[in-house]
Structure 1
Amino acid sequence: MKAITKSKLLKFIFLIPMAIYTSHLVAQEEEKPKFTINGSVDAYFRTNFNGLNKSLELVGGDPAEFTPAAPATSFANDPGFAFGMANVILGYEGDKVGFVADLVFGPRGEDAVFLSQPSTNIVNQLYVYYKVNDALKFTLGNWNTFLGYEVISPAGNFNYSTSYMFSYGPFSHTGLKADFSFDDHWTGMLAVMNPTDYTEFNPIGKYSFGGQLGYSNDSGSAYLNLLYGEQSLSDNALFQIDLTTGWNLTEAFYLGLNTTYQDTDGTGFYGVALYPQVSLSDSFALGMRGEYFKELKDGGVVYGADTSVTAITLTGSYSTGGLTIKPEFRIDSVSDDYPAFLNKDLNPTSDLASFLVAAIYAF
């Protein structure tokens, strides 16, 4: 009996350091920095019901006179079968430090980095960060804008085409920002940046300033965003204020909202968009974007001064595995009969009805 007891005791004593060593290995494994690769690819088919579906050069028109084939928004504007972009995001996340290298290839990516130099126009985001503690993180480099409801990657949006507010607000910023976590619900951000969308360097020696105050809980979030700074060699500073919010009102119904105002010495825009979405099953949902967008009276950036646009976009979303299929119907209507589009007879019109179906694979 004693021999057996001693044997068990010896086994127990022998297993203690083994358990400690194994726990140390597990802890090391859990604390090991994580390297990730993810991204998406997308393609689509697009056609107009009452508008031109071919290049103006082929029919003897002036391509500079009208925007004949699509709304004056970013992405998803090409007729027929087309592709968006391949997006590869490399990440390295440690306890304190890490980086993100976000690369894009294709027309959608080129539109997103339109002010980049040809040698670096595949870089969508490129930054490093340092977490001082749970309440403070610094980021240095190039990151996608913090303003607006929508993002560049189609995998991050419910609608495949993008809004006017997103298309004519900033896409990217390069600079230094500090993110603050005040408690479990409230966050903040302060940033100093190059002029917007100048990603590699600062060509004019002037800087912009950004700020954000955010609140979130289990049902949704709201963010108030500010941007201020001179964007060119002129002394006129851009000012933009933006509110982005979205809430799960029920398990099946979500409602998002984005409203923004941008002004640079009388040139700019303002608008508002609602994003209701309803989940009909685990794999299929319907969503709408209803947007009102208006140019400022002293100068327009899209269709002309004091011109407004109403755009209704209805999107279905069917997901299976990493693949999402999105059929989408859209109507754009420009105020005051402004000849923003061409119909099939090459006559100017202020309305455009279009349809697309997109396929997005996210990994």
Structure 2
Amino acid sequence: MSSGFESSARTATAAPTNADVEELRQTVHDLALRVSALEAELHKERPVATTEVATLRPAVLIGPAAEVRSSVESVSSSSVASVPASAAVSHQATSTPASPVASILPTQLPGGATLNYTFDGYYDYDFNHPIGRVQYLRTYDVLSNAFSINQADVVFARDPDVAAGRRYGVRLDLQFGQATETLQGSPQNEPRPDIYRNIFQVYGTYVVPLGKGLTVDVGKWASSLGIEGNYTKDQVNYSRSFFFDYLPFYHAGVRSSYKVNDKLAVNYWLVNGTDQSEPTNSFKDELFGFTAQPVKSVLWNFNYYLGQDHPDAAPAMNCTTPVQPGLCLKAITPAPDGKQHIFDSYVTWNATPKLALSLEGDYLISREWANAAPGESSAPAHVDGGAAYARYQLTPKMALGGRTEYLSDRGGLFSGTTQALKEFTGTYEYKFGEGFLTRVEYRRDWSNVPFFLTNKPGVLSTDQPTLTMGMVWWVGGKTGAW
């Protein structure tokens, strides 16, 4: 039976009819037309694909005055041209190809949006061998003799593009790791910090069609008080200064920036407070500032901040009406009403294509009470001082950075102890390629009083010498400072 079946099958296929042949010809003709159409579509899309791949190059490391914490960054979500970031470039971009990771992770999205990723880790050695491996007055390098994850971040950014007819934009920075414990604060400075712990920044932008464009941001953003910023790749050193640790990390509210001309932009903020996603009182803090670029190689920022950080309510346990956790409160009567004034200024000079120099000066005065009542003191506490930075690009891959700083903490606003703090930091950087760098850093902090931990309980040291290796990886479609 098997052979009979095969024979009949061969007979059926061996003698096709004229109708079968005509149908086959028509099918082949239709397939040829489809292939031609697909080839034409493929040739049209190839130039676009090439352009998109070219935008996947990671950001170029730039000098301190053009990074996230700068007032220029408050404009960068929209009219970044107010003060060109190129004026603060501390070394030239290399022709290093984009990181292979860029071909795996999505970095460029439709409509001009970008996705950006970074991982920042370190190993630190404290020569004091402190109890618990804890280092005082450090922002990110908080642990000694430990492999530590400083932070891992994902940044979504879609800047306004007025030329293309889009006046709005949005940015979201999600953050994880040790840095969240430093940056987000605690219940001492805002009611419910855990809600916002992983949201380092989130704000929407609109460019109001007024004059050269009034840029308005609403949400939560990194503070521009102080020259240093969050993302290590954009800084001179791996560690951060005392003033970065003391000045506000973030604000929530509304901010605006107006570009007067090519040399001047003015800024105004109205916010909940310092490091407050939710307010602790009804007073709204304000910032008045400007960013100036008198010549191409000089960038200058000045900020005046008026605030009131004293809470007017405290946690309670007897609320009878259902409220969200953390919102059961009782009034503080009378509530302290003293104000806080911050004067902050910093300038960067790109002396040569390889050498960048920066200076920062800060003065802060804070009172608990505006007017002293009987038995109460309105004596102010002060923090003042400054820092100097230098960065020299030895080769496209190697750079040296230095920082020296003085902070007078009268009244213990910063450290809890009245003291004069000094520090020196020297940093060697090696950049393996766009998207990966390492920094080896020696730092010495010292004070005029014993303050820093040692390996002996109850015994404090006047200095804190450390040696750190930090490594940073990043990839994304965003160019320049993050």
TM exceeding 0.5: yes
Question: For each residue in 1:4-28, what CA deviation from the matched residue of structure 2 results, as whole angstroms up to 9, or x when unmatched?
Answer: xxxxxxxxxxxxxxxxxx9xxx9xx
Are residue 304 (structure 1) and residue 375 (structure 2) matched? no
Q: Which amino acid aligns with 1:192?
A: L
Report the secondary structure of 1:167's partner residue.
helix
Alignment of 1:341 onto 2:412: no
The whole-number CA distance in structure 1 between the counterparts of 2:204 and 2:266 is 19
1:254 corresponds to: 356
CA deviation after TM superposition for structure 1 residue 270, in Å: 0.8
How large is the RMSD of aligned CA atoms in angstroms?
1.9
Following TM superposition, by how much is the alpha carbon of 1:128 offset from its aligned partner in structure 2, in angstroms?
Answer: 0.4
> What does residue 233 of structure 2 align with?
155
Extract structure 1 runs of 4+ deviating beyond 4 A.
none
Match of 1:96 in 2: 167
Q: Taking structure 1 as reference, are residues 362 and 218 closer, same or farther at Cα in structure 2, changes over 3 Å only?
A: farther
- C-alpha distance in structure 1 between counterparts of 2:149 and 2:131, whole Å: 17
Matches within 5 A, 1:88-167: 88-94=154-160, 95-115=166-186, 117-133=193-209, 134-167=212-245
Answer whether contact 2:446 2:463 (CA < 8 A) is retained.
Answer: yes
Q: Would the aligned equivalents of 1:303 and 1:340 in 2 still touch at CA under 8 Å?
A: no
- 1:244-269 deviations in Å (ceiling 9; x for gaps): 11111112211011110111122231
Given that 1:267 and 1:301 are in contact with CA atoms closer than 8 Å, whether structure 2 keeps it comes out as no
Equivalent residue, structure 2, for 1:8: none
1:182 alignment partner, SS class? strand
TM score, norm. by length of structure 2: 0.63
- CA radius of gyration, larger in: 2
| Residue 427 of structure 2: aligned partner | 315
Rounded Cα–Cα distance in structure 2 between residues aligned with 1:300 and 1:193: 21
* Kept after mapping to 1: 8 A contact 2:131/2:454: no
- Alignment map for 1:190-339 (pairs within 5 Å): 190-199=268-277, 201-216=278-293, 217-233=295-311, 234-265=336-367, 266-296=380-410, 298-305=411-418, 307-321=419-433, 322-335=435-448, 338-339=449-450
CA contact under 8 A between 2:131 and 2:453: conserved in structure 1? no
The CA distance in 2 between the partners of 1:288 and 1:41, in whole Å, is 23
Equivalents in 2 of 1:39, 1:357: separation in Å?
21
1:243 alignment partner AA = S
CA-to-aligned-CA distance 1:245-298 (integer Å, 9 cap, x gap) = 1111112211011110111122231111000111110111101000011112x4
Contact map agreement 1:158 1:317 (CA 8 A) in 2? no
Matched, 1:83 2:149: yes
1:220 deviation in Å? 3.1
Change (3 A) 1:136 1:268: same
Does structure 2 conserve the Cα–Cα contact (< 8 Å) formed by 1:159 and 1:315?
yes
Q: Percent identity?
A: 23
Q: How far apart are residue 93 of structure 1 and its match?
A: 2.6
> TM-score, normalised on structure 1?
0.83
Match of 2:247 among 153, 169, 173: 169
The 3 A distance-change label for structure 1 pair 110 and 313 is: same
Unaligned runs of 5+ in 2: 1-43, 53-109, 161-165, 187-191, 312-335, 368-379, 476-482
Unmatched 5+ residue regions in structure 1? 1-21, 56-67
More helix by share: 2
Highest RCO, 1 vs 2 (Cα 8 Å, sep ≥ 6): 2
1:71 and 1:317 mapped to 2: Cα distance? 24
Q: How far 1:54 sits from its partner (Å)?
A: 4.6
AA aligned opposite 1:313: T
The total of aligned residue pairs comes to 317
Higher-strand-fraction structure:
1
Instruction: Please tell me the residue identity of whatever aligns with 2:195.
Output: S
Alpha carbons of structure 1 residues 226 and 283: separation in structure 2 relative to 1, 3 Å: same
Q: Secondary structure, in 3 states, of the residue corresponding to 1:158?
A: coil
> Is 1:358 aligned to 2:470, yes or no?
yes
CA distance in 2, matches of 1:129, 1:221: 24
